[in-house]
Amino acid sequence: MPRVRRQNVPPALFQHLLDLVQSRKIPASQLELLAKWLDSEPEVPERQWYKRFSGMTVCGERELIKTFLLPGQAPKGKHV
């Protein structure tokens, strides 16, 4: 199973994620939770997946994080 990629993220995807953090006003506390989770080098499925945190949901596909959802938005894929 792949692990979430933390380096060499495509620049356009990285900018997309930064834009989402700003436009959706993702709190720093949620990003800290994400960072701690990423520190554990989590394995993720080879298809769409999501990880819920208290104030956001991280969605990805294979080793890449693709988007951040706010509470109430429905994720697709397998819960990790």
Q: For residue 46, is it within any domain?
A: yes
The string of pLDDT tens digits covering residues 9-67 is 999 999 999 999 999 999 999 999 999 999 999 999 999 999 999 999 999 999 999 99
* Rg, C-alpha atoms of the chain: 12
Q: For residue 69, is it within any domain?
A: yes
Q: Show the domain range for 21.
A: 11-79
Return the structure tokens found at 23: 């436009």
CA 6 to chain centroid, in Å, comes to: 11
**Structural domain total, the chain:** 1
Q: For residue 34, is it within any domain?
A: yes
Q: For residue 4, is it within any domain?
A: no
Q: For residue 29, is it within any domain?
A: yes
pLDDT score recorded for residue 73: 97
Q: For residue 31, is it within any domain?
A: yes
pLDDT score recorded for residue 36: 98
Q: For residue 58, is it within any domain?
A: yes
Q: For residue 25, is it within any domain?
A: yes
